[in-house]
A and B are shown apart, each in its own frame.
Chain A
Amino acid sequence: MRLMAIVDAAVRIPGLEDLTMYRSTASVPFAGRYRLIDFTLSNIVNSGISSVGVFPTNPFVSLLDHIGMGKSWDLDRRKDGLFLLPPTQLNGGHLSVGAFAALEEHKAFITKSRRQHVVITSCYTITQINYQKMLQAHIESGADITEAVSGDTSLKSYIMSRELLMELIDVYKEKRVVSVEDLVNLKKKPYTYGRYEYEGYVAVIDSVQSYFNESMALLNVERWSELFLHECPIYTKVKDEPPTRYLKGSVVKRALLANGGTIEGSVTESILGRAVMVKKNAKVDHCIIMQKCVIGEGCDLSYVIADKEVHIESGVILRGTKENPVVLRKGERVLKEDVG
């Protein structure tokens, strides 16, 4: 009960624009039925932390709709629970984790807390990290700030005392740093810095390329079972979709499917979100098809990322490559004539 969490959901990732036109990075769909922030919030609650501040940025309607009062994470509490702390004057959005300007706007959230330590984390690094273990290591090391790493990869999660964070919010301008990440990277004095080595699943989503590759990697059951642990479930907003229907003639191999789908065509090496419809004789290969997409009869898609509610009319042929998947933006309607 000594730890509180700050989730920086306002970090912008250049290169993910196709998926973030209508949402922040934190609410980008991943693994069929999740949003990126689900993994962060689930790690937090699985670590027994019940006081969480989420700093969103514009456009955050999608994020608000998704996390609501935090019920799915059991964070709708009378005491503590989930707080949404949106930007008040700033335009919002920044490039590194734990921006002091945003924290300063909601300093009261931090000063009023009775927790001793703070973990500051983000949404685009997916792990199964346990913050209690990290806190233990942080305290034992005696460092002022501990950064979680996995080999050479920074997990963009930091633990420090709440007091130190309050001090940093007062002095960050003098120190010429913009964020906790910035401070740690520059190793500003007089603070001491430690590292916590984490072992387990890591995926860093910082480009369409890594988004595609990390999604596809989940088709290997070994990788899938590293992320989806029975004792540390990933929570998300529930949707009451019925089980997925496999109709006569469907072919499904090496695929990850969320509920509510209706599969009549062929789905191979692909990830399907909730309530996706793949019609007769359609082929979906090496694709990420998000919630409520409709793939028309006889379509032939390979290496395509289709955002939510994309309608692909009958007979459309779309081919991307592993290095350069075709990205269809949310709500797009693709006709045969459009693609020649």
Chain B
Amino acid sequence: MKTEIVAMLLAGGQGSRLKSLTYNIAKPAIPFGGKYRIIDFPLSNCMNSEIHTVGVLTQYQPHVLHNYIGLGTPWDLDRRNGGVTMLTPYAAMGGIRWYDGTANAIYQNINYLMEHDPEYVIILSGDHIYKMDYGMMLDFHKEQQADATISVIEVPWEETHRFGIMNTDEKMNITEFVEKPKDAKSNLASMGVYIFDWQKLKDFLIMDNENEDSSHDFGHDIIPLMLGKGEKLVAYPYKGYWKDVGTVESLWEANMDLLNPESGLNLHDPAWRIFSSNPQLPPQVVTETGYVQESFVNEGCVIEGEVTKSVVFQDVYIKEGATIQDCVIMSGVVVGNGAKLTRAIVPPSFNVPDNFEVGSPEGEIILLTDEIVEKWKGSGEHAFDGNR
């Protein structure tokens, strides 16, 4: 059977605004929501949309991602035909080339796509939290007889300057693409999800590659080039939860959105499950002294302290007298007796010492690091509110 569609998942980004969280792992590998990694979302969307051929393009700190995805078993991607293929930069006759721009990354894997020779290619990014049926977008693409379809979401007008904005006519034909405009004419932001007719995409990738002035980016180069050549580009309006978790604040916010029933982000929907690699851990225990309120708690945790409005990953031990409020506690963390954490993200396997205090209810979001703990020790163990 011929492959109808191949997904190319761009997972090479560093996400430097996530600071120490991405020193050793790529942004798509960042833990999220008590048990997931960001990349689980596009991979699960592929699985739920019945896309069974997925190329994952990695470059920055790829080891954790490669190990995590493995054969793709959690997403049913361990297939005889298709399945998941990890695509890293490689050496060839012409030398060794790093991926330089999103379009260049796809261009360098043109052989992978030619081997599968699909009708369509969907380009995804490993940076966003959202649940989306790519099948419906593909139907739209076919109905519109488009050469390329770009998924867009309405963003608040005051935030348009942060996004790539699509200007469209009333039939959703894209007339212009503007990167981070000061005076936006539309509030439709690109979600970084593109469907192309493969043959068209191939031609434009080759064309773009020959242009030495190009930055080889989909938004910046390929889309304007296609518009300039008169191709039919349409915007597919997506409604639902979508969030770029590019900063410590937005990562924290997206986690908190899980605790808010109004946010539109629901992981408890059996019809659109998010799949991930499941560690084998015992059920969580809340002891006599434990208290949990408006929170997400994963397996393997022992809760002896107080947890409010927080997301707690697997295998976390919160000792007696500890208070956790508005926090994201990643896997394997131990929170010592009497520690008090407010509005903090605690990275995996971190040891929070007894009586350590950080954060305040109105303060900024603090990503806990060894330096902060050292400073606290040096300061005679007074609370660190992030402003000092």
By a CB distance below 8 angstroms, the chain B residues around A221 are: 285, 287, 302
By a CB distance below 8 angstroms, the chain A residues around B311 are: 243
Q: Are B283 and A242 in contact (CB under 8 A)?
A: no
The A-contacting residues of B in range 69-91, CB under 8 angstroms, are 74
By a CB distance below 8 angstroms, the chain A residues around B288 are: 253-254
Q: Are B268 and A259 in contact (CB under 8 A)?
A: no
Q: Are B283 and A256 in contact (CB under 8 A)?
A: yes
Q: Are A236 and B294 in contact (CB under 8 A)?
A: no
The A-contacting residues of B in range 277-318, CB under 8 angstroms, are 278, 280-288, 290, 292-299, 302, 311-313
Q: Are A243 and B286 in contact (CB under 8 A)?
A: no
Q: Known interface pairs A221-B285, A240-B276. Does A252 touch B294 (Cβ–Cβ under 8 Å)?
A: no
**How far apart sit A258 and B285, CA to CA, in the bound complex (Å)?**
9
Q: Are B282 and A228 in contact (CB under 8 A)?
A: yes
- Closest chain A residue to B300, Cβ basis: A228
Q: Known interface pairs A242-B35, A245-B268. Does A252 touch B283 (Cβ–Cβ under 8 Å)?
A: no
By a CB distance below 8 angstroms, the chain B residues around A254 are: 286-288
Q: Known interface pairs A242-B34, A252-B292. Does A260 touch B282 (Cβ–Cβ under 8 Å)?
A: no
Q: Known interface pairs A221-B287, A260-B268. Does A246 touch B282 (Cβ–Cβ under 8 Å)?
A: no
By a CB distance below 8 angstroms, the chain A residues around B34 are: 242-243
Q: Are B267 and A242 in contact (CB under 8 A)?
A: yes
Q: Is B42 part of the contact surface with A, judged by Cβ < 8 Å?
A: no
- Closest chain A residue to B283, Cβ basis: A32
Q: In the assembled complex, how far is the CB of residue B274 from the closest CB belonging to chain A, in whole angstroms?
A: 7
Q: Is A189 part of the contact surface with B, judged by Cβ < 8 Å?
A: no
**How far apart sit A260 and B35, CA to CA, in the bound complex (Å)?**
11
Partner of B290, one of A32, A245, A247, A253: A253
**How far apart sit A258 and B288, CA to CA, in the bound complex (Å)?**
18
**How far apart sit A72 and B313, CA to CA, in the bound complex (Å)?**
21
By a CB distance below 8 angstroms, the chain A residues around B273 are: 240
Q: Are A258 and B292 in contact (CB under 8 A)?
A: no
Q: Is A47 part of the contact surface with B, judged by Cβ < 8 Å?
A: no
Q: Is B252 part of the contact surface with A, judged by Cβ < 8 Å?
A: no
Q: Is A212 part of the contact surface with B, judged by Cβ < 8 Å?
A: no
Q: Are A255 and B268 in contact (CB under 8 A)?
A: no
The A-contacting residues of B in range 1-52, CB under 8 angstroms, are 33-35
Q: In the assembled complex, how far is the CB of residue A111 from the closest CB belonging to chain B, in whole angstroms?
A: 34
Contact mask for chain B residues 333-374; partner A; CB cutoff 8 A; 1 contact, 0 none:
000000000000000000000000000000000000000000
Q: Are B286 and A253 in contact (CB under 8 A)?
A: yes
Q: Is A248 part of the contact surface with B, judged by Cβ < 8 Å?
A: yes
**How far apart sit A224 and B268, CA to CA, in the bound complex (Å)?**
27
By a CB distance below 8 angstroms, the chain A residues around B268 are: 242, 245, 260, 262
Q: Is A82 part of the contact surface with B, judged by Cβ < 8 Å?
A: no
Partner of A240, one of B278, B282, B313: B278
Q: Is B204 part of the contact surface with A, judged by Cβ < 8 Å?
A: no
Q: Is B194 part of the contact surface with A, judged by Cβ < 8 Å?
A: no
Q: Are B299 and A245 in contact (CB under 8 A)?
A: no
Chain B interface residue bracket vs A:
20 to 34
Q: In the assembled complex, how far is the CB of residue B337 from the closest CB belonging to chain A, in whole angstroms?
A: 15
**How far apart sit A224 and B287, CA to CA, in the bound complex (Å)?**
11
Q: In the assembled complex, how far is the CB of residue B311 from the closest CB belonging to chain A, in whole angstroms?
A: 8
Partner of A239, one of B274, B278, B295, B302: B278
Q: Known interface pairs A228-B282, A236-B280, A257-B284. Does A246 touch B35 (Cβ–Cβ under 8 Å)?
A: no
Q: Is B275 part of the contact surface with A, judged by Cβ < 8 Å?
A: yes
**How far apart sit A272 and B297, CA to CA, in the bound complex (Å)?**
14
Q: Are B293 and A250 in contact (CB under 8 A)?
A: yes
By a CB distance below 8 angstroms, the chain A residues around B296 are: 242-246
Q: Are A246 and B283 in contact (CB under 8 A)?
A: no
Partner of A238, one of B278, B283, B312, B313: B278
Q: Is A26 part of the contact surface with B, judged by Cβ < 8 Å?
A: no
**How far apart sit A259 and B300, CA to CA, in the bound complex (Å)?**
10
Number of interface residues, chain A, beta carbon within 8 A: 36
Q: Are A258 and B283 in contact (CB under 8 A)?
A: yes
Q: In the assembled complex, how far is the CB of residue A255 from the closest CB belonging to chain B, in whole angstroms?
A: 5
Q: In the assembled complex, how far is the CB of residue A67 from the closest CB belonging to chain B, in whole angstroms?
A: 14
Q: Are B283 and A31 in contact (CB under 8 A)?
A: yes
**How far apart sit A243 and B298, CA to CA, in the bound complex (Å)?**
4
- Closest chain B residue to A271, Cβ basis: B283
By a CB distance below 8 angstroms, the chain A residues around B35 are: 242-243, 259
By a CB distance below 8 angstroms, the chain B residues around A33 are: 282-283, 299
Q: Known interface pairs A246-B297, A260-B268. Does A255 touch B286 (Cβ–Cβ under 8 Å)?
A: yes
By a CB distance below 8 angstroms, the chain B residues around A60 are: none
Q: Is A234 part of the contact surface with B, judged by Cβ < 8 Å?
A: yes
Partner of A234, one of B282, B284, B286, B293: B282
**How far apart sit A248 and B290, CA to CA, in the bound complex (Å)?**
15
Q: Are B33 and A242 in contact (CB under 8 A)?
A: yes
Contact mask for chain B residues 156-189; partner A; CB cutoff 8 A; 1 contact, 0 none:
0000000000000000000000000000000000
Q: Known interface pairs A242-B274, A248-B293, A250-B292. Does A259 touch B282 (Cβ–Cβ under 8 Å)?
A: no
- Closest chain B residue to A254, Cβ basis: B288
Q: In the assembled complex, how far is the CB of residue B35 from the closest CB belonging to chain A, in whole angstroms?
A: 6
Q: Are B280 and A233 in contact (CB under 8 A)?
A: yes
Q: Are A246 and B285 in contact (CB under 8 A)?
A: no
- Closest chain A residue to B40, Cβ basis: A240
Q: Are B33 and A256 in contact (CB under 8 A)?
A: no
By a CB distance below 8 angstroms, the chain B residues around A260 are: 268
Partner of A224, one of B267, B274, B282, B290: B282
**How far apart sit A72 and B74, CA to CA, in the bound complex (Å)?**
12
Q: In the assembled complex, how far is the CB of residue A125 from the closest CB belonging to chain B, in whole angstroms?
A: 19
Find the residue from B287, B311, B313 having the highest chain A CB count within 10 A. Answer: B287
Q: Is A235 part of the contact surface with B, judged by Cβ < 8 Å?
A: yes
Q: Are B284 and A256 in contact (CB under 8 A)?
A: yes
**Shortest 9 CB-CB contacts between residues of A and residues of B:** A243-B34, A238-B278, A32-B283, A228-B282, A243-B298, A242-B267, A243-B296, A246-B292, A258-B283
Q: Can you show 30 pairs from A to B with CB atoms below 8 A apart? A: A31-B283, A32-B283, A221-B287, A224-B285, A227-B282, A234-B282, A238-B280, A239-B278, A240-B74, A240-B273, A240-B274, A242-B34, A242-B268, A243-B296, A243-B298, A243-B311, A244-B296, A246-B294, A248-B294, A252-B292, A253-B286, A253-B290, A254-B288, A257-B285, A257-B286, A257-B297, A258-B299, A259-B35, A259-B299, A260-B268
Given contact pairs A221-B287, A243-B33, enumerate 10 new A-B contacts (beta carbons under 8 Å): A31-B282, A32-B283, A240-B278, A242-B35, A243-B296, A248-B294, A254-B288, A257-B284, A257-B297, A258-B283
Enumerate chain B interface residues (CB-CB to A < 8 A).
33-35, 74, 267-268, 273-276, 278, 280-288, 290, 292-299, 302, 311-313
